[in-house]
């Protein structure tokens, strides 16, 4: 057995030291480098938050413009990378495509990514942040059978992504500023979140000295699961299945039934035992997007009512289950025009910033070692081999 602490799910084990993100789950507080997520979401841009996470301080105007220029310099992907998409069935889940294509980036930069060289580390970090929107948009274009669009570096990071996703070569594409702002805010809300499963995966993969592009691909694989980043897709599918507010009690009863594996998707969190501060901003953003697009989606009313009924139910109160970031994001993303399969891709796009910042922090940590958890062995004790004819 050995003298190890047994902590399944790492509920009480700190795997690293980090100066990036602070969460107080009881109070519902989330700070990036000390700044509250609500203030960043209200006043900042995704590029500014990326700079903050990577460098520790908010940029000056000159620093921000320099950072934007650096990122846009890397937005194109190698022409040969397009060939990877063609290997996938057109109905492949875009997260499967993301795992493969982002992992494939390592083949393009393996020889020029010495992780012990700070300059090469920085270039790899910028490449990842810059190319992820291009690859995400290509995954979407491939699924709908439209041509890939090259990046337009005269646009903002988020405006460029929207154009690569929804634009077509035959027509000019006007970025709707309100939609771009909302999308940018959604990216801010997903940028980093401490040592969650996918970030821990990136750190663990990187702890062996693996190429950062491969490490981010590992993070994408982990994010895909419905208990993590896949919850935004699952939450919208659940709201669609519920359909109308009248059916909510039936689903709440199912979520409470221990013999039914059903859970309210977009509800509950390992760390937040209070309202997820990202969900507060997300709920507000739904109305802004609906106003900007002059649309309404009855699923939003269903979501609001579901929240209200769940939060007045003893089961959810006792277990401290509140809406998380994924509860309202699907309603917005669907209004903007993304199919549900793309939701987790958007999460991956934004979280790449956090993964990259955490990977850099790990590589430069003087205490860094290969991650190597131990176990409690529960198998048989030593026994002798029995030849096959005697078994």
Structure-block tokens of residue 302: 């269903």
260 is catalytic: no
Stretch in the footprint of ligand CMC (CB under 6 A) among 70-78, 98-106, 148-156, 221-229 = 221-229
DSSP class of residue 167?
A: -
CA neighbours closer than 13 Å in the CB half-sphere of residue 138: 26
**Residue 7, interface with ligand CMC (CB under 6 A)?**
no
Give the Cα-Cα-Cα angle 116, 197, 1 (nearest 5 degrees): 90
The residue from 74, 190, 269, 276 that is catalytic is 269
Tell me which of 113, 199, 324, 329 binds ligand CMC, using CB under 6 A. 324
**Residue 175, interface with ligand CMC (CB under 6 A)?**
no
Tell me which of 137, 269, 338, 350 binds ligand CMC, using CB under 6 A. 269
Stretch in the footprint of ligand CMC (CB under 6 A) among 29-37, 71-79, 264-272, 328-336 = 264-272
32 is catalytic: no
Contact assessment for residue 373 and residue 15, using Cβ atoms and an 8 Å cutoff? no
Give the Cα-Cα-Cα angle 179, 181, 186 (nearest 5 degrees): 95
Q: Based on CB atoms, which residue is closest to ligand CMC, 231 or 281? A: 231
Structure-block tokens of residue 110: 């393996």
Nearest to 165 by CA among 135, 130, 141: 141
Contact assessment for residue 198 and residue 228, using Cβ atoms and an 8 Å cutoff? yes
Residue 323 pairs in a beta bridge with: 267
Tell me which of 98, 105, 236, 325 binds ligand CMC, using CB under 6 A. 325
Quick one: which H or E segment has residue 331? Answer: helix 325-336
- Identify residues 229-258 at the interface with ligand CMC (CB under 6 A): 229, 231, 255
Stretch in the footprint of ligand CMC (CB under 6 A) among 91-99, 209-217, 285-293, 316-324 = 316-324
Write out the residues near ligand CMC by the rule CB under 6 A: 9, 196, 227-229, 231, 255, 263-270, 319, 321, 324-326
Residues marked active site are found at: 269, 326
């Amino acid at each position: 057995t050995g003298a190890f602490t047994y902590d399944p799910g790492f509920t009480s084990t700190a795997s690293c030291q980090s100066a990036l993100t602070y969460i107080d789950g009881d109070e519902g507080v989330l700070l990036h480098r000390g700044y509250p997520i609500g203030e960043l979401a209200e006043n900042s841009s995704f590029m500014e938050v990326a700079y903050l996470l990577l460098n520790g301080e908010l940029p000056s105007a000159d620093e921000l413009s320099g950072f934007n220029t650096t990122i846009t310099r890397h937005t194109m992907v190698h022409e040969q990378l397009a060939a990877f998409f063609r290997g996938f069935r057109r109905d492949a889940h875009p997260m499967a495509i993301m795992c493969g294509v982002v992992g494939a980036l390592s083949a393009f930069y393996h020889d020029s990514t010495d992780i012990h060289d700070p300059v090469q580390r920085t270039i790899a970090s910028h490449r990842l942040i810059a190319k992820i929107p291009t690859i995400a948009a290509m995954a979407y274009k491939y699924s709908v059978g439209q041509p890939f669009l090259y990046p337009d570096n005269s646009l903002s990071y988020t405006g460029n992504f929207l154009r690569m996703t929804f634009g077509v070569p035959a027509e000019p594409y006007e970025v709707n500023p309100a939609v771009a702002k909302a999308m940018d805010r959604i990216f801010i809300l997903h940028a980093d979140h401490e040592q969650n499963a996918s970030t821990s995966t990136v750190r663990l993969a990187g702890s062996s000295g693996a190429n950062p592009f491969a490490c981010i691909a590992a993070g994408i694989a982990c994010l895909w699961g419905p208990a993590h980043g896949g919850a935004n897709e699952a939450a919208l599918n659940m709201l669609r299945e519920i359909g109308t507010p009248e059916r909510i009690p039936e689903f709440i009863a199912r979520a409470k039934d221990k013999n039914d594996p059903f859970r309210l998707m977009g509800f509950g969190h390992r760390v937040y035992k209070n309202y997820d501060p990202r969900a507060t901003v997300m709920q507000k953003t739904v109305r802004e997007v609906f106003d900007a697009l002059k649309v309404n989606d009855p699923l939003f009313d269903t979501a609001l009512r579901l929240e209200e009924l769940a939060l007045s139910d003893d089961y959810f109160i006792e277990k401290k289950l509140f809406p998380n970031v994924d509860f309202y994001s699907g309603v917005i993303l669907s209004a903007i025009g993304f199919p549900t399969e793309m939701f987790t891709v958007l999460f991956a796009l934004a979280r790449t910033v956090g993964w990259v910042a955490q990977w850099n922090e790990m590589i430069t940590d003087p205490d860094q070692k290969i991650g190597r958890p131990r176990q409690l062995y529960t198998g048989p004790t030593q026994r002798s081999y029995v030849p096959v004819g005697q078994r």
